[in-house]
Chains A and B, each alone.
Chain A
Amino acid sequence: MSDIRNSNPDGEDYEPQIGPASTDAVGLAAGGSAAPLPGEDKSYSQGQLVARRFFRHRGAITSMIVLGVIIVVAFTSIGIGPIPGWWPKDYTLQYDKIGDGAPTWEYPFGQDTGGKDYFSLVMRGTQFSLIIAFAVGIISTVVGTLIGALAGFYRGWIEAILMRITDVFIIIPLLAVAAVLGRMAGDSGIWGLALVLGLVTWTSLARLVRGEVLSLRERDFVLAAQAVGTGAWRIITKHVLPSAVGVIIVSATLSISSAILLETSLSYLGFGVQPPDTSLGTLISEYQAAFTTRPWLFWWPGIMILTIALCVNFIGDGLRDAFDPRQNRTKD
């Protein structure tokens, strides 16, 4: 009985000051991961805790590195716009073919049927695919968040109208509406394509954010803010959306990966990137017949798409675990 350390008269010392709020079986089963390391006296914001959990996700970190390398190589090798890259060959020029154009030291990805350097072509395609994917990700996230937040926060007729609009977009197969819009925007280059794709892919995020906002607006801290007289805009931006940031970021990541695939599908159907621009989708589409004769023309762009989408998906998974640690049990 003597080893009761806290025996000063202030009863509150019996509360754990910092650390797992509860040692109940359930709390521990769920990982109790909201708590910082025992004994550490440093202060962590939610964001820092999320980052710590994210960096423990090995798949996500590997994917981060791989994706980083791909982005750096794609943009520095052949340069972008007027800025030249370090790769000596140009994707527009036709070189003398070495043999049947199979990969060599000089042409690591081989040459296409006309003798073009396939490495620089693939890099060019990767650039375009990445730009479109990230632009679409950003646009659809902004639109989806805005619509979802407004619908969830204001309820009533605003919600009814916004959600019916969302339903309209959901009921048209995404590929169909993207194809129609892509065809219309085909002439305005990749930015036009990115814009229209972004404008049709926000629906699932809007629904998610609305659901999240619906539950958040009933939370006590939002009610407390309202009771003080906080304006709607401040409540949405300062109290509601920061708490929904997990859902938003994860969804944004996944929309990037689906945008990559959507763009390649559209380009394959002929409604996406138009020549002379090149994306990974147009490359595969153009060379799929060469599978048996010149397999490298088929493999490289496909592997590129696959790798990028896989990395983005894994990063999304890591973020999901980091933001929502409930299912992230301690391993034994």
Chain B
Amino acid sequence: MRRDNKGLSRPLALIYWTCGRNYAKQGEADFKAEPAFLRSPISTHMAATLPPPRLLPSGDSAVTVEFSRTIDDAANERVLALDKALAASPIDGITETVPTYRSLLVHYDPEKIGFDALGAEILPIASQPLPPATRARRWRIPVAYGGEHGIDLEDVAKALNTTPDDIVARHSGGDYRVAMIGFTPGWSYLSGLDKSLHMSRRQSPRLLTPAGTISIGGVQAGIQCLAAPSGWHLLGRTPVRTYQLHRTPTFLTEPGDRVTFFAIDHKSFEDLDRAAEAGEIVAEQVVA
């Protein structure tokens, strides 16, 4: 089983180019010559300490360290910074941390540390100014848009008064960040969805949506790994498995990673899907 993706760079590049040409020919897509991921990442520098987060008990063995009550990139950066800081200098008694959009859930062992003592250790770290932004890892994710793979593409285009190709261009033109992973293994919630694509979720969620679904819901975009219920709008599918047992790494994406999408045709999807099933990564990692 192949575990590297070196051999994939060329075929992927060809597919990318082919799709780009197709879109150019149709003249409907603003296909970027320079992908959006070359733009510099958001960096936040503040000299003074930041306002402290709220410490909310999640039972007797976990605390929710809440930086914001809304979806907010700045809060998410603080979540990820605290997560990193706690990984770098572990506090005795913490067993696991779970970053989400706006809060870090810290699981701990109350036999080792109590709620108040843990809070007293976390607060000063959580109030530190953010460290200078480092270059994030970036993934280029192939997507087969529309048709059987993205059954909502046409409806989304109609709802937004435009064409399916324009929706594809706007979605694949975006520069996304993995804000959190949750719900089911590998389900990556992305911030950075173009404002013109913000739309409320479906009235009635679907009980089952396919593995690899690429979707949008509200202000968020998502990469779904396993088949699962979803109330989001399905634009396409990726052959990339963000979670695959017996592959190294088992989980592809990490909170904080950057993500861009590029269109592939449905035939390429089949080929890449087979390669992915055999254990290949099939996503391109741009910066190691």
Asked if A and B bind, the verdict is: no
Q: Which residues of A contact B (CB under 8 A)?
A: none
Q: Which residues of B contact A (CB under 8 A)?
A: none
